[in-house]
Structure 1
């Protein structure tokens, strides 16, 4: 017979307290996300308030007067609480949501034009000329290379080049590969059915610079009536002066650094970014109100609510303090390892792992991962994600440690210097790395790094159809 009974057992178990959960949440926010999070918290907690720096009547407490709040301290609401301020990054105005933004096409103009040209019945030579023209378009969609240069490159007549360019001009977007604005607009007019005797065509061909002068100018010049001129100008306004506009536009990404690495008096230093348009601090009115027991009357729930909100506010300030101190320690550890990169360049980027930094700052690897996630650092060499400084490494024959990023840079350098007619195989690159730089890595590793760099294989790099399709492969 089964016997049922109760018994007590001691079992060690990790329990995440609400305060610890808040610390972990704040820790992984970048400065812009943190900024938005704090605005939400201020709206829901009466003990938190904002003080905007650009208001002249505000009096600010110097940073030297700040008293550190330790995570282990318990909040005593009966005692005078410490005012504490934190500075945060600049807020970006919130835009009204637009579903059309989520439907934006990512297709590039060159790929779209190549797809269209491949549907045309052209000879291999004519396609090569078309690929070459497409590969030399600028960001606006205009051809920025002379027709004579193209003819010389392929050893063909100017008429042959012009024939191919005219085919491209009438692809979508119409007017692409034009030599100037006038030709681009005339191509679009011709495409939509206006011949050389039409008013819009005449205005663009002969009076493009005078178009801004308006209806009266052309009415007196040609004797056209006002409606004809107005209609023609309206048609011209609808034309696209930059055919590639919609294909080179990208979604704006706002990035604000969480750390700054800078050199002062020949010494590298790290700074946690705290400056911003407002200060978050505890609200004096509610602190004083909470200490006056008579104000609560016979409603203890009001006092209980306020005590909880006060605790939440203090927990948030402690979490922010923890975030800044840990971010500073991690930044300092990264700077210690990567000073040579900041001074000499990518080839001096050392291998660095989460474990290395965790041991340096006495935190767990998962905590380091949270700290560096989606955070950026401003350096004299530009803006970098903190993850950039972490990579596996290898040793050269001299015993020097090299990061995977440094080896990728060597691979790119070797390929950029190769003979285009005789590109190097991955095995050959592996051999050069070993003989010239003392870096012993396998062919498959070279292949992996080359693909990560988005550099085509040996077959694709040969001077052929694919080479002309893509133009320059590597930056």
Structure 2
């Protein structure tokens, strides 16, 4: 009886070890999984080779304007790719998108625009008005200051982002930047008739600006985002293609495939290493199946986003996915952590698709992300002399988009967007 109990406990321990390893591997990205197996192979002589697709450059972006890994200089990829990835949160028309992409490609490594608007319009076969519209959008990307044509404009853009406003600020930057550089407070006080305290604050704010904002993206070593799957439209249907590095194949060394020739401690040792490989294969298989099921569920629920863009994003929670798949919420959370998919809208984190919702009168919900984007648009085009209050934003969301939302929720979302209250936005345009 004791022996049977011991055998059951031993089996349970082995099953728990296998399960723990499977759960542990869930949180790894495809690249991290390969690195993990390679580390194990250093201590397990039975592992001869780990087969996966080594050619990361074969991972192609959906848009020809978004470079594939390895196609261009790494520093450029880091800055330009990060700027382009920010565009997937913006609802762009087919007309303006290629103009914006051309503008981003025309930035130098410091983030400044290197071509004239006239040449830009000529290259894109469009008007200077459209080019100016594209530039204005580029200048809203992070870090602030990106897309500036001069140092003066770069500083001005950053001061606007910091909500720092003086009625004479533009003139000071454009005409008397040397006074700021030399900290000539007397000249500024006398010319503009302001107190020394105001000038001291100007010096402090300008010093906080970065003269080369592009370096904030390109100075650090690039961190490549490698997607787990490619989601694309084929003949009107959404398809999911999982990349090969998502499921590495472990090959066993030929001389160790037959253990009958090994005796004693060597046989015991190799047997344990075989078990380790079996557990590892099961864990890799479990990770693959779980990841595929979760991505398939997300694609099904966010179908309208993949077809039409960010304004069609639907509310979705970890709990809903877990219920549908019969899994624990923590399993879903581990599965989507640091995982990305490639789409026509860019390379997107799976966590992005988990969105809270605001209940509407018809019983449906609107994703919080969509409401925030609509709020940003309303505020961007408001009359800067009569900025919209939270109550006015609430009313316009209902009147223009049919969205019902509490004023308190508007305030919360506005604060999350780092947008100041209307009284602090007055006169900040230009």
- TM-based fold match above 0.5: yes
8 Å CA contact 1:22, 1:316 repeated in 2: yes
* Corresponding residue for residue 240 of structure 2: 270
| Residue in structure 2 matching 1:256, options 226, 247, 250 | 226
Q: Does 1:142 align with 2:151?
A: yes
| Residue in structure 2 matching 1:350, options 314, 324, 334 | 314
- Map 1:385-400 to 2 at 5 A: 385-400=349-364
Distance 1:389 1:137 in 2: 28
Describe the superposition over 1:445-465 as per-residue Cα deviations: whole angstroms up to 9, x where unpaired: 1111112222222132111xx
Distance 2:173 2:420 in 1: 28
8 Å CA contact 2:51, 2:249 repeated in 1: yes
8 Å CA contact 2:317, 2:356 repeated in 1: yes
Q: Does 1:165 align with 2:165?
A: no
- From the two aligned structures, give the one with the greater helix fraction: 2
* Corresponding residue for residue 305 of structure 2: 341
Distance 1:53 1:329 in 2: 21
Deviation of the 1:19 alpha carbon: 0.7
Distance 1:373 1:250 in 2: 26
Distance 2:18 2:227 in 1: 26
Deviation of the 1:320 alpha carbon: 0.4
Describe the superposition over 1:2-25 as per-residue Cα deviations: whole angstroms up to 9, x where unpaired: xxxxxx9xxxxx977111110011
8 Å CA contact 2:355, 2:369 repeated in 1: yes
Describe the superposition over 1:137-165 as per-residue Cα deviations: whole angstroms up to 9, x where unpaired: 856863469xxxxxxx989999x776522
Distance 2:153 2:355 in 1: 40
Distance 1:397 1:335 in 2: 26
Describe the superposition over 1:5-63 as per-residue Cα deviations: whole angstroms up to 9, x where unpaired: xxx9xxxxx977111110011111112221221210111111222256799xxxxxxxx
* Corresponding residue for residue 44 of structure 1: 43
Q: Does 1:309 align with 2:273?
A: yes
| CA shift in 2, pair 1:41/1:170, >3 Å | farther
- Map 1:396-435 to 2 at 5 A: 396-435=360-399
Farther off after superposition, 23-32 or 388-397: 388-397
* Corresponding residue for residue 16 of structure 2: 17
Structure 1 counterpart SS, 2:373: helix
* Corresponding residue for residue 79 of structure 2: none
* Corresponding residue for residue 377 of structure 1: 341
Structure 1 counterpart SS, 2:257: helix
* Corresponding residue for residue 239 of structure 1: none
- Map 1:71-470 to 2 at 5 A: 142-143=151-152, 164-170=176-182, 249-251=218-220, 252-275=222-245, 279-288=249-258, 290-292=259-261, 295-296=262-263, 300-463=264-427, 467=428
- Based on CA coordinates, which of the two structures has the bigger radius of gyration? 1
Distance 1:322 1:136 in 2: 46
Runs of 5+ in structure 2 lacking a partner? 6-11, 55-68, 71-109, 111-143, 155-165, 184-210
| CA shift in 2, pair 1:368/1:247, >3 Å | closer
* Corresponding residue for residue 197 of structure 2: none
| CA shift in 2, pair 1:379/1:399, >3 Å | same
Deviation of the 1:262 alpha carbon: 1.4
| CA shift in 2, pair 1:355/1:48, >3 Å | same
8 Å CA contact 1:433, 1:440 repeated in 2: yes
8 Å CA contact 2:27, 2:336 repeated in 1: yes
TM-score normalised according to structure 2 size: 0.60
Structure 2 counterpart SS, 1:261: strand
Runs of 5+ in structure 1 lacking a partner? 1-7, 9-13, 56-89, 92-108, 110-134, 146-152, 172-241
8 Å CA contact 2:342, 2:348 repeated in 1: yes
8 Å CA contact 1:54, 1:277 repeated in 2: no
| CA shift in 2, pair 1:316/1:142, >3 Å | same
- Say how many residue pairs are matched: 295
Deviation of the 1:285 alpha carbon: 1.9
Describe the superposition over 1:411-433 as per-residue Cα deviations: whole angstroms up to 9, x where unpaired: 11211221111111112211222
8 Å CA contact 1:139, 1:248 repeated in 2: no
Structure 1 counterpart SS, 2:250: strand
Distance 1:39 1:396 in 2: 51
8 Å CA contact 1:430, 1:446 repeated in 2: yes
Describe the superposition over 1:193-215 as per-residue Cα deviations: whole angstroms up to 9, x where unpaired: xxxxxxxxxxxxxxxxxxxxxxx
Deviation of the 1:248 alpha carbon: 5.8
8 Å CA contact 2:34, 2:248 repeated in 1: no
Structure 1 counterpart SS, 2:45: coil
Distance 1:157 1:287 in 2: 76
